[in-house]
Amino acid sequence: MSRAHDTNSDLRPRTAPHPSAGVRHLSKRFGVVWALKDVTLDFPAGQITALMGENGAGKSTLLKILAGDHQPTEGSAILDDQAVQLSSPTDARRLGIRIIPQEPEIIPHVSVAENVYAGLLPRRAGRRLDRAELRRRVTADLNRLGFEKVLDPDLLGSQLTPAQRQLVEILRALTGDAKIIAFDEPTSSLSENEVEALFTLIRRLRDDGVAVVYVSHRMQEIFQLADRIAVLRDGTLAGVQRAAATNEGELVRLMVGRDLSTMFSRTRVATGPLVLDVRGLTTDDVTDIDLQIHAGEIVGLAGLVGAGRSEMALALAGDRPVRSGTITLDGRVLPSGDPGAVIRAGLGLAPEERKAQALFLRRSIRDNTSTVVLARLRRLRFVRRGAERELAQQYTDRLRVRTPSIEHEVRKLSGGNQQKVVLARWLARKPKVLILDEPTRGIDVGAKAEIYHIIAGLAAEGIAVLVISSELPEVLGLADRVVVMQNGRITGELARDQATEEAILNLAMADDLAPALISGATS
């Protein structure tokens, strides 16, 4: 933040470095499970500390203790070399600790401005809300931070896109005097331009003496931003490295305890007969799509953000009306706009937004696994619970879902394990074609390797797999061939031995000079 900004704003400049923060001998136990074990870690003022680790390594637990949401079993949080008591989020905020969560908490029926200044709303005499002053403050904040073109102060919370919701959380965190700010996967829903504005803001915070903690699975972001990198593994501190003195391989070894150089182990196998045959598919979002996938084949679908990949997947799954063209599955033409018929015909879709579109978060692993095979599990009008439990346990064991039991709520699982539950559902259904849209988004590197192994196994069983991914190394490592889209059309196809990042990007940008490259393309 600029030191020359409006002195009346509650996003105040820093005139001197804030004290360092950290944790000392921090441990947290949930029942018999230790989420953190004797972690001592500093977050120096004026530095960006990246916090990395597999899902379940303890990152979220550490942040929740700093936020006052959890109380430590042992140890304490530290500010300026003094132990502090964080009994509630109010305590944490009063002491200048800000945690920006991965999933924003937005009040839907009030404006952006009121969401940002919730609890700090300017009042007139008589305690009435001073709306003009509130709007002035938020407008000034947006202009100063570079977000004025993407966020309208008057929009209601319910009208915000995922990216806008994330920006509201960031603005909210910067109200008042922040000493330590932690960002938890902040770029997961941001465009490239928004990411650049966020990175500029984070560097300003560092330069103003704030202790910044940055949690991300994206190596490219870590090396762009971080001064130092701390790695958690199984609840313990595996190591702290200077960013300039380490590399991706070393970080991966610290995170998972092993070398993942063989992460992509797929070898080309003989494919079977044609299973999915798409001819001239046109919807409101895509035009004249021709696509064929054979049994046992993995086809990668690449393209820039907005190319129409996810929209095409939803049309194939029956969730978007088809204006013209045909979708033929194993010789049978599928109906338009009938997801149930598509599932019964043998096509499954694991969508990009697994939490919003695929999972029943407050239901058990058992419920989520069996939801597409309940007809098979029924006797008369009743579900055979024993058979349902046996099925859920079978696929939970097969995919190595880390959980206390199949009755565990899915919302309490890590991202990687949630994705495994989505895959377990479709394995139980035994589809002929499986579409995986961003199958490893928000998943740590160790869990990614497991997901890749599962995908290769699906193809080996004869399932035709379509993998949509914004990570080019993922597409290149998995796919037997790569199909590229741009502006709702297929612009080219590359065999495995022809596919390179450069070749894919040339097809993805053939008629598009926009600077927004595929996220992760150079990671």
pLDDT band (50, 70, 90) for residue 2? very low
In a domain, 425, yes or no: no
What is the structure's pLDDT at 263?
Answer: 67
Q: Kindly report whether the global pTM for this prediction surpasses the value 0.75.
A: no
pLDDT band (50, 70, 90) for residue 250? confident
Query: Based on the domain organization, do 67 and 213 belong to the same domain?
Result: yes
Q: At what angle do helices 415-429 and 385-398 cross, to 10 degrees?
A: 120
Q: What is the per-residue DSSP string for 134-162?
A: HHHHHHHHHHHHT-TTT--TTSBGGG--H
| 3-state SS, residue 498 | coil
Query: Based on the domain organization, do 273 and 174 belong to the same domain?
Result: no
pLDDT band (50, 70, 90) for residue 227? very high
Query: Based on the domain organization, do 181 and 269 belong to the same domain?
Result: no
- Whether 518 shows a pLDDT value over 60: the answer reads no
φ/ψ of residue 466, rounded to 5: -110, 115
How far is residue 127's CA from residue 138's CA, in Å, rounded to a whole number? 20
CA torsion 76→80→84→86, rounded to 10°?
-90
| 3-state SS, residue 296 | coil
Query: Among the three residues 256, 284, 306, which one is the final residue of a domain in this structure?
Result: 256
Q: Write the pLDDT tens digit of every residue in 426-448.
A: 888 889 999 999 888 777 677 78
Query: Based on the domain organization, do 142 and 275 belong to the same domain?
Result: no
What is the structure's pLDDT at 517?
Answer: 34
Q: What is the per-residue DSSP string for 54-120?
A: -TTSSHHHHHHHHTTSS--SEEEEEETTEEE---SHHHHHHTTEEEE-SS----TTSBHHHHHTTT-
158/291: higher pLDDT: 291
Query: Based on the domain organization, do 235 and 289 belong to the same domain?
Result: no
How far is residue 443's CA from residue 469's CA, in Å, rounded to a whole number? 13
Tell me the Ramachandran region of residue 55: left when phi exceeds 0, alpha when psi lies from -120 to 50, beta otherwise.
beta
Q: Write the pLDDT tens digit of every residue in 236-245.
A: 999 999 999 9
Those residues with Cβ within 8 angstroms of residue 340's Cβ, 6 or more apart along the chain or in another chain: 318
Q: Write the pLDDT tens digit of every residue in 124-140.
A: 876 788 888 888 888 88
In a domain, 403, yes or no: no
pLDDT band (50, 70, 90) for residue 5? very low
Query: Based on the domain organization, do 177 and 50 belong to the same domain?
Result: yes
Q: Write the pLDDT tens digit of every residue in 410-426.
A: 988 887 888 889 988 98
Query: Based on the domain organization, do 192 and 52 belong to the same domain?
Result: yes
Query: Based on the domain organization, do 234 and 264 belong to the same domain?
Result: no
Tokens read off for 76:
């304490």
- Of 26, 487, 486, 511, the closest CA to residue 237 belongs to 26
What is the structure's pLDDT at 270?
Answer: 66
What is the structure's pLDDT at 266?
Answer: 63
- Of 74, 72, 99, the closest CA to residue 87 belongs to 72
Query: Based on the domain organization, do 109 and 243 belong to the same domain?
Result: yes
Range of the domain at 500: 260-346+431-523
